[in-house]
Amino acid sequence: MPENNEAYFDAKSISSDLLLLDPNNPRLVLSFKEDPIVPDSAAESRQDKIFALFRSSPTNKKDEDFFGIKELQESMEEFGFQPVGQIVLRPIKGSKKFIVVEGNRRVAAVKQILAAEEDKGESEEKLSKDVLDSLRKLPCLILKTKGVSKKELDRRISVTLGLRHFGSVLEWEPHAKAAHVHQQYRALKDGDFAYDAQLAKEVAKMMSISTMDVKKSLLTYRCVEQLKAAGKFPKDRHFSLVQALITNSYLGTKYITRNNRTFEFEAEAIEKIDQVCEFENRDQQANQKINILRKPQDVKDLKELVAAAEGSKDELGLTAKARDLLNSVEQKLDLEGREREESADPGSYKVLTLEYAIGVFRETCKAKEWKVELKRLLESEPDDSITKTTNNLLKLEKFGKKGPYRSACKLLDIAPFAEED
């Protein structure tokens, strides 16, 4: 929260009947799979849809963290509402009601309890009067809006949410963070999306994050939306993987091309992202060990292989080798470069994984570099220092216990220097 609360807020107790859950809360936006901002005039009509999410059984851990309010309800039913952390409200113009800016889970729990209490029959045990009184009127901070421009109000809301959910114990998951960043950026810029570094800087300042974090969030959020529009299946938990892939500086220019102003990805790039991320099947148990990118950190290995396929190791004559390995990884070929037949037993099909491919390539590079250096040494003038260096390079037994110098010459098809009498 801002240090000077009085400048931003009025502290009041507000009837819980007057509180509307925020349909533009980033976590809810992701669940509704809707991007357009819901106007205040439509907020009340969205309440049933929002409450349905809290009443349902979450299907994954991240959803459970937000929508799973059973324990919160049980605590309130026993102890009443405890003002741990503030509920922040924004008044709706022309209405007595408020949008919940911060505290949606707690308000949802309160409303669920009160609704359940009203539905109880005469024979059912009711909650105590003290508990119910604590739920019917809640201590809140109301954002001051009189004489405040929309831009300034958005800034204050962003500061409130930014300090609460970016780097705190209540930190949002990456996709929700990015959705919030995108909302705030779009609030500052109407029309078609275009990246503006100055606007990104303003959003970063409002949300207490870096300008680079803003840019990465915008880029990844828009990429995920384009993937969905193209019929791909990225899930919230895949967001960090997509971000690692498309924000890699090398891959973003050589492998997955985009417009750096509009953040629009070419159709070929969308297909490539889907190919290496394998959204539709990556979470299946049988595929987890052979996914091209098993975790975001694997992107650096993919970058190394792509760079080699583009010629970064051309001086060693390994460009073609890198291209073959990259193609095998992308096409999920076996260790012999063959495709798996539909009827083949999956357990007997050994995919050439990215981990295996990059290991093979690095070892090949080491062997090539060793041979290049050895050849240089052997073609130099024969003096004691050269002989010592060569012998050190060749002290491994695989070149024979005797005469490593001559063994190396034979291996590289180089004539040894004549021995002096």
Backbone angles phi, psi at 138, to 5 degrees: -115, 140
Beta strand 19-20 with 98-102: parallel, antiparallel or unpaired? parallel
Burial class (CB in 10 A: 0-12, 13-18, 19+), 78: exposed
What is the rounded distance in angstroms from the CA atom of residue 110 to the CA atom of residue 81?
A: 8
Four-residue CA torsion sign, 281, 285, 291, 295: positive
d(C-alpha 403, C-alpha 405), whole Å: 5
Pairing of strands 137-143, 87-91: parallel
**Positive or negative, the Cα torsion across 156, 157, 160, 162?**
negative
What is the distance between the alpha carbons of residues 312 and 158, in angstroms, rounded to a whole number? 44
Report d(CA 105, CA 182) in Å as an integer: 22
The residues pairing with 139 across neighbouring beta strands, listed in sequence order, are: 13
Q: What spatial distance separates the first Cα and last Cα of the chain, rounded to whole Å? A: 88
Listed residue (389, 388, 391) closest to 400, CA to CA:
391
Q: What angle do CA 329, 331, 336 make, to 5 degrees?
A: 70
pLDDT in tens, 256-312: 999 999 999 999 999 999 999 999 888 886 767 788 998 899 999 999 999 999 988
Question: What is the chain's mean pLDDT, rounded?
Answer: 79
pLDDT of residue 100: 92
Answer whether 357's CB lies under 8 Å from 329's CB: yes
Longest distance between any two alpha carbons in the chain, whole Å: 117
Mean pLDDT of 2-24: 80
The whole-angstrom separation of Cα 310 and Cα 119 is 68
pLDDT band at 168 (very low <50, low <70, confident <90, very high): very low
Q: Are 38 and 25 in contact (CB under 8 A)?
A: no
- Amino acid sitting at position 207: M
Query: Can you give the pLDDT at residue 71?
Result: 78
Strand order in the sheet with 137-143: 9-15, 137-143, 87-91, 98-102, 19-20
For the stretch 348-403, pLDDT in tens is 557 788 998 998 888 888 878 777 777 776 666 555 555 555 555 554 334 444 45
* pLDDT score, position 402: 47
Residue 351 bridge partners (DSSP): 334
Closest residue by Cα to residue 371 from 335, 408, 397, 396: 408
pLDDT at residue number 88: 86
| CA–CA distance, 68 with 101 (Å, rounded to integer) | 19
Cβ contact 2:159 at 8 Å: yes
DSSP designation for 140:
E
Helix (H, G, I), strand (E, B) or coil at 143: strand
pLDDT tens per residue across span 34-78: 545 788 899 999 898 888 887 755 554 444 445 678 878 888 888
